[in-house]
Amino acid sequence: MEHLLRPRTVAVVGASRDPTKIGHVILKNIIESGFPRERVFPINPNVDEVLGIKCYPSLKEVPYEIDLAVIAVPASIVPRVLEDCAERRVKAAAIVSSGFKEVGNVEAERNLLEIAKKGGVRILGPNIVGLIDTVVGLNASFLPYLPDRGGIVMVSQSGALAAGLLAWTKLKGIGLLDVISLGNRADVDESDLMEFFSKDVHAKAIALYLEGVENGKKFMEVARRVSREKPIIILKAGKGWRAAEAVKSHTGSLAGSDAAYDAVFKQCGIVRAGDVRTLFDYALSLAMLPDPKGENVVILTNGGGAGIMGADACEEQKLRLMDIPEDLASALRKWMPSFGSVLNPIDLTGMATEKEYYGSLSVLLGDERVHAIITLFSHPATLNPMNVAEAIVRCVNKVKGDKPVVAAFIGGKECEDATRFLIKNGIPAFDTPERAAAALATKYRYAYYKSRPKGKHLEVRVEKDKAYGILAKALREGRNLTQSESCELVSLYGIPTPKKIVAKSLEEALSSAESIGYPVVLEVESPDVVHKTEAGGIRLNIKDGRELEDAYYGILKSVKEKAPGARVEGIVVRPFVREGVQVAVGMHRDEVFGPLIMFGSGGALVELYRDVSFRVAPLTDVDVDEMMRETKVYHVLEGFRDAPKDVRSVKEVLAAVSQLSLDFDVISDVDINPLFVYERGCMAFDVKIMLKGSSLCGT
């Protein structure tokens, strides 16, 4: 990775004299970026020299060690070039050429990887724009120029987007350390890059644009570790509800494909950005700001409007605005007219000049009770924004990075220039108070990620043999588990379920109800009916034998009509359970990351309310706690306008579902909905377990 990302010598394969060809542009860029000419080797069998540099017919002829070969020849020639790399012991290859997996040539790409693995060559790409490294001063890409040097590493799965973002960051004055186009990721992927940059002293933050992750396990393992050392910010595109309509479980249809990414990012301490702008807003804040030492945030402004917007934004971002103590207030009053305000936001008024900004900011920076500052400036005709920006930089430099300071300058071109100046001088600066508050809040969020305990994995004791028996029978018969098998399976993992008897006739149902005691519930026992309410397959609160007889025949008739062809294996009789707070616990197996565990509000309307949160198994106690707190129903469990419920029992259910999903990867989905939660204990009222590849019919 060192040879790929910090090369000492570079060969360009496909270096043409034709200035319109990519191989020519890359060679020219390498030279123009200041990389020493004597360490650049153009390769082309048809010419002796390109851009004044001696050209070799093949890599094999180069009499020097080569760290990196940038390959820009048509796809059909790439395998041969890669063989040369292997023979010549070139350490890394950046393959610009398109025409592999992205157009369906999976086999050709696999072949590249095989050659590279055998020869010990690391591959970046194929299908990339190349890479830029400001540490050695190398533009080994067909991107037009080097970025301004900074601490942010930019990695993009899309080459075209990398080009756009390079220009965009240049315009905004945002400094980058490396720009890396990932392309098809035949070998080097985002995890390898995160790992490398976690140890690079120059890298302060890693910003990635990703469309997806292929190796979920590796990604989680690396990201979890790296994010404690370096901030990772990801813009993940493609939030689509992949095949959501084809998924029959509640959990599956709520999960879509994006919930897994969201969960993984939270579990791994990755900051998620919603768009390009926030990707760099957060990257700036995380790369530049020192960790805050406490929660007291102060807003300094020259305008009431900006101040109020800033205060609203802080509230929304859950930043705590400090109450200004009297001694601090009187120190600040010296820097404002009598009609200024020392309430937070501190309003210096439109009369403020750079002198007032400098003075009041010095007071705030010097006070230990103040932990972070948002400096707002709204452009009045009387003052040049650059003067204020310079005053802020001077003031912050004087105290040398002790506490986070962000800025927002509201105005036109002059404010834009001032913002760029601030960024170049290490102060994250934006054009609105909302962006400034969000950037600061991200710093707080990341500080929380870094300091939160790693958590303990929750283990559950189970009778695995019995569980295996239940699943094996259903698998042999090519079906999902029935309701009673599902209940039995989860009860082996310690999840409380109501007693059930499967009756094969009306007489058996009547005697079962007598033994359980009225009121009872009747429901159809069928591996094919997934949503029983819709199929008319369930009747609640049956109080006597006469009602039971009606319900028994009613269910059989309704299922026959609404789920024709469904196998009916009997009618389940169970007690009519007292209702508690309804929550839902579930699992949907994600293709990339594995079992995705869900918690949220339960009942028939889960999909409508969407009060749910997700984490990927195995769950730690920290994961369980965080995921529960993200939902509204958690507040109900905690005792919102009622007695607190048994939260611990729900945590045990989440741990059990996590364990069950890890024990048997043949299970595709688990739905426990509702799980009634009482003041003491809980009860899984309805349990569905679906198996991979089992065909579902009915509703």
For ligand ACO, the binding residues (CB under 6 A) are: 13-14, 16-18, 21-23, 43-47, 72-74, 77, 81, 96-99, 127-129, 159-160
Q: How far is the CB of 177 from ligand ACO (least distance, A)?
A: 21
Lookup: tokens for 150: 């900074």
Shorter beta-carbon distance to ligand ACO: residue 16 or 631: 16
- Of residues 11 and 656, the one with the C-beta less far from ligand ACO: 11
Q: Give the C-alpha separation, 445 to 281, whole Å.
A: 14
Whichever of 145 and 640 has its CB closer to ligand ACO, that residue is 145
**What's the min distance (Å) between Cβ of 74 and ligand ACO?**
4
Q: Which residue has the tokens 């409508």?
A: 608
- Nearest residue (CB) to ligand ACO, 81 versus 542: 81
CB of 129 to ligand ACO, least distance (A): 5
How near is the Cβ of 186 to ligand ACO at its closest, in Å? 13
Q: Which is nearer to ligand ACO, 21 or 424 (CB)?
A: 21
What tokens does 417 get?
């220039």
CA–CA separation, 247 and 670 (whole Å)? 12
How far apart are CB 41 and ligand ACO at their closest, in Å?
11
H, E, C per residue of 238-285: CCCCCCHHHCCCHHHHHHCCHHHHHHHHHHHCCEEECCHHHHHHHHHH
Q: Which residue is nearest to ligand ACO (CB)?
A: 159
Rounded Cα distance between 596 and 607, Å, is 17
- Considering the complex, state which of residue 147 and residue 159 has its C-beta at the smaller distance from ligand ACO: 159
Based on the number of CB atoms within 10 Å of its own CB, is 424 exposed (0-12), middle (13-18) or buried (19 or more)? Answer: middle
Go through the chain and tell me how many residues it has: 699
| Residues sharing a CB contact under 8 Å with residue 673, sequence separation 6 or more, in sequence order | 250, 582, 584, 585, 586, 602, 603, 606, 686
Amino acid at site 689: I
**Which two three-digit tokens encode residue 476?**
């042999």
Measured distance CA(300)–CA(302) in Å, rounded:
7
Q: How far is the CB of 207 from ligand ACO (least distance, A)?
A: 18
Q: By C-beta, is 23 or 119 nearer to ligand ACO?
A: 23
In angstroms, give the least distance from the CB of 239 to ligand ACO: 21
Q: How far is the CB of 109 from ligand ACO (least distance, A)?
A: 13
What's CA 211's distance to the chain center, in Å?
Answer: 11
Q: In angstroms, what is the minimal distance from the CB of 130 to ligand ACO?
A: 8
Q: Which is nearer to ligand ACO, 42 or 537 (CB)?
A: 42
Q: Which is nearer to ligand ACO, 145 or 448 (CB)?
A: 145
Residue 201, token pair as written in the block? 């002293």
**CA–CA distances in Å: residue 524 to residues 250, 417, 552, 571:** 19, 70, 9, 5
Neighbours of 100 (CB within 10 A): 24
DSSP 457: B
Of residues 14 and 674, the one with the C-beta less far from ligand ACO: 14
Using a 10 angstrom Cβ sphere, with 0-12 exposed, 13-18 middle and 19 or more buried, the burial of residue 215 is: middle
Q: Rounded to the nearest whole angstrom, what is the least distance from the CB of residue 86 to ligand ACO in the complex?
A: 15
